[in-house]
Amino acid sequence: MNGARRLAGATVVLAVLAIPPWLLATLTRAHLPGWPTSTQLRDWLTDPLTPATLTTGLIAVAWLLWLGMAYTITVTAARRLRAGARWVRHLPLPTPWQAAATSIAGAAALTTAHTPTTQPPSPPAPVTADELQHPSNAAQTEPAGVVVPGGWIPDDTAHHIAAAAALVWLRRRRVHQPGQPDTDATQLTPLPATVTAVQAAIADQPPPPAATTGAMQAPLPPAGIRLAGDGADHAARGLLITRLLTALRDPTDTIPVIVTSNALTRLLPSIAETAATIPGLHVIDTLDHAATLLPASSTSSTADHGIPSLVLTAGPATAAPLNLPGTRVVTLDAAAPVPTWRVDCNGQTVDHQTGQPRPRMCVLDSTAAADLLAVLAQPTTAAPDPAASAPARPINRAQAKIPRQANRISPPTPQRPTEATATAVQLRVLGRPALLIDSKEVAIRRSAALQILVFLAVHPDGATTTQLVHALWPGLPAHTVTGRLYTTLSDLRSTLRATTADQVVVHTEDRYHLDPRTDVDLWRLQAAAHHTATTDAPGRWQAVMEAYTGDLAAGHTWPWIDPPREATRRLVLDAHTTAAEAQTDPHERLRLLQAAIRIDPYNQQLHQRAADQLNALGDSAAAADLLHTHRQRLRLAGILDQPMITAR
């Protein structure tokens, strides 16, 4: 069909180019006998408007019109021919190997065209940087991974990072002192950008089995390896991070990672002073010191799992791999007599001796690696002693107020609707997020749209396009996902337009914000807390406790949600604790403390206060059970690394 249309078009073009000049030449030959003579020119100047001169002028205009049309057609055709020539010149022609592969693939397709498939093939298992195998038995599979600013991380390592980030917030929850002003501004500090980018990338992915067990599936070559190439330092950092993440699941007496000081200075100069706070990392001056550390780890649980210790060095290695049993030595020394693997900046690895590809390695630049190490570092101070944190003088229950917390969002001032114009739009973000219009929940098709609503509820002053993009899709350039934001907002507006005439999300002065008339439960909670902190009315804490219906955006793991979620939780814990201190009835005080424990079952001071209250009521067995349950919960979460609380 297209060929016939093109042939018809070419015929019309040729007819337009050929027929007009033939007609003009045939019909006007008698009127143009030749070039005008001098006598004819003098007669034309004397009387220019004669029938002959008018006829000649019309013929000249007809020829000029045809020439213009012919010029346009010629230029257009020449441009298309030139573009076609450029395409043919840049067309990648198949090499002999490619042609052979194409022929084999075509034959295979014809052979198997009518062969039924009994079951789908199994997806390839991800391979981490820890799963580097010996050249003789390496599995050549391409692992799935996460691209972050400054590197590439395999999926299972990314899930390890997300788990380590969750432990950071659990530790912060454990050491928080409800009812006391926040003196440590870092308690609500968001995690580094690389960590949030990893969290966003795997938010909807189930963790692979390797990320759950924390064990490596295959060792490095027994004789160790030397990393070379543009990505050697990046791959060494990836190995370091991967093994340190494994250390989080091992007992504290294991030594999975030993790094020489020159290698640490070369790879991560910014953490040289804080390396002692990273569990499982031991910095030594020379490899001779590594031998003194290995006997303690040779009987550790890592040997049962087949996880050898990693020794990372940048200096001369000589025969060190043979003298360090139970380890895998990775060196950056160009003169090391060990097999060499060349790594590029994308983590693609090739055995330098055999030319065979090796599994892709985790690669990180110094900034990304330092960001990830920030979630591995343990707090430099021990968990606070509840007895030491108690106020020195008794609380005046008549004047007790909820203390203000640092970095807390100031409560918004939504407009109070009148009876004639009652608010029909409700946004519920405490507990399971939901948008209700006339008490009926609106089905929001896009998860990003729900995330935008919660983000704007947390930020009542609004947010710019850039702020929204960085919050929803961290680690991606803003200009590449701005269109995704606009599409999400347009879809949200279309959904709301079918149910209400009110605009829930308003765009004013280059900022998106919620309509102040929207009834947001988080705003009511913050307004109640603000009112409680500035009044002495009896029972003023009850409004705060009743307004809290669950964690902020419960069930969602958005990377930006942890700081405001923890700030909201602490707001309610302060209300419970302050109300308990103001109670004269010991049973009511215990009830309030137990309600606070249900809100945050990881907080240490709440458990100690509740245990003290149980002891005061004569129920020491219940106090011991409460503390034992708390310790078991901390042990299961992997944060029982600080002094344990004891029943008193």
Cα–Cα distance for residue pair 415/462, rounded to 1 Å: 16
Does 480 lie in the same domain as 359?
Answer: no
Cα–Cα distance for residue pair 545/594, rounded to 1 Å: 13
Does 450 lie in the same domain as 366?
Answer: no
Cα–Cα distance for residue pair 279/398, rounded to 1 Å: 47
Q: How many CB atoms lie within 10 A of CB 475?
A: 20
Q: Which residue blocks in 269-374 are alpha helix, DSSP H? A: 287-297, 301-305, 320-323, 366-374
Helix (H) or strand (E) holding 577: helix 562-581
Rounded to the nearest 5°, which phi and psi values hold at 350? Answer: -135, 135
Give the mean pLDDT per block of 10 residues along the chain (648 residues).
69 78 72 67 70 76 82 80 57 44 42 39 37 34 76 89 91 90 80 91 71 42 82 92 77 68 88 77 81 57 56 67 69 84 90 86 92 79 43 36 42 44 79 92 92 96 94 88 92 87 87 93 93 77 92 93 95 93 92 95 95 94 94 87 45
DSSP state letter for 418: P
Does 450 lie in the same domain as 349?
Answer: no
Which of 537, 561, 582 finishes a domain?
A: 582
Which of 280, 290, 274 shows the shortest CA–CA distance to 331?
A: 290
List, in sequence order, every residue forming a beta bridge with 147; answer none if it has no partner: 152
State the chain's maximal CA–CA distance in angstroms: 138
Cα–Cα distance for residue pair 89/92, rounded to 1 Å: 8
Q: How many domains does the chain divide into? A: 2
Q: Is 153 left (phi over 0), alpha (psi -120 to 50) or beta?
A: beta
Helix (H) or strand (E) holding 100: helix 96-111
Cα–Cα distance for residue pair 542/547, rounded to 1 Å: 8
C-alpha dihedral sign at 87, 88, 90, 93? positive
Does 290 lie in the same domain as 217?
Answer: yes
Residue 26, in any domain of the structure: no
pLDDT for the residue numbered 246: 76
Which of 235, 341, 323 shows the shortest CA–CA distance to 286?
A: 323
State CA 71 to chain mean position distance: 57
pLDDT for the residue numbered 392: 33
Does 209 lie in the same domain as 151?
Answer: yes
Cα–Cα distance for residue pair 453/430, rounded to 1 Å: 12
The owner of tokens 């240490």 is: 604
Q: Which residue blocks in 202-324 are alpha helix, DSSP H? A: 209-213, 232-247, 261-267, 287-297, 301-305, 320-323
Residue 390, in any domain of the structure: no
DSSP state letter for 615: H
The residue range of the domain holding 418 is 399-582
Residue 249, in any domain of the structure: yes
Does 417 lie in the same domain as 316?
Answer: no
Rounded to the nearest 5°, which phi and psi values hold at 272? Answer: -60, -35
Cα–Cα distance for residue pair 527/564, rounded to 1 Å: 15
Cα–Cα distance for residue pair 19/60, rounded to 1 Å: 17
pLDDT for the residue numbered 560: 94
- Ordered DSSP codes for 450-513: HHHHHHHHH-TT-B-HHHHHHHHSTTS-HHHHHHHHHHHHHHHHHHHHTT-SS-SEEEETTEEE
Which of 526, 547, 582 finishes a domain?
A: 582
Q: Which two tokens stand for residue 311?
A: 């020794």
DSSP state letter for 358: E
The owner of tokens 């100031």 is: 410
pLDDT for the residue numbered 214: 38
Cα–Cα distance for residue pair 418/421, rounded to 1 Å: 5
Residue 117, in any domain of the structure: no
Residue 278, in any domain of the structure: yes
Which of 460, 461, 458 shows the shortest CA–CA distance to 472?
A: 458
Buried b (16+ CB within 10 A) or exposed e, 248-279: bbbeeebbbbbbbbebbeebbeebeeebeebb
Residue 422, in any domain of the structure: yes
Does 214 lie in the same domain as 339?
Answer: yes
Asked if residues 349 and 343 have their Cβ atoms less than 8 Å apart, the reply is yes
Cα–Cα distance for residue pair 599/570, rounded to 1 Å: 10
Residue 71, in any domain of the structure: no
pLDDT for the residue numbered 512: 95
Does 286 lie in the same domain as 159?
Answer: yes
Asked if residues 328 and 308 have their Cβ atoms less than 8 Å apart, the reply is yes
Cα–Cα distance for residue pair 383/635, rounded to 1 Å: 15
Rounded to the nearest 5°, which phi and psi values hold at 342? Answer: -95, 130
Rg (CA), the chain: 37
Q: Give the CATH number for residue 425.
A: 1.10.10.10
Which of 582, 599, 625 finishes a domain?
A: 582
Residue 610, in any domain of the structure: no
Does 462 lie in the same domain as 352?
Answer: no
Angle, helices 155-175 vs 232-247, to 10°: value is: 50
Does 554 lie in the same domain as 461?
Answer: yes
DSSP state letter for 419: S
Does 284 lie in the same domain as 153?
Answer: yes
Does 349 lie in the same domain as 433?
Answer: no
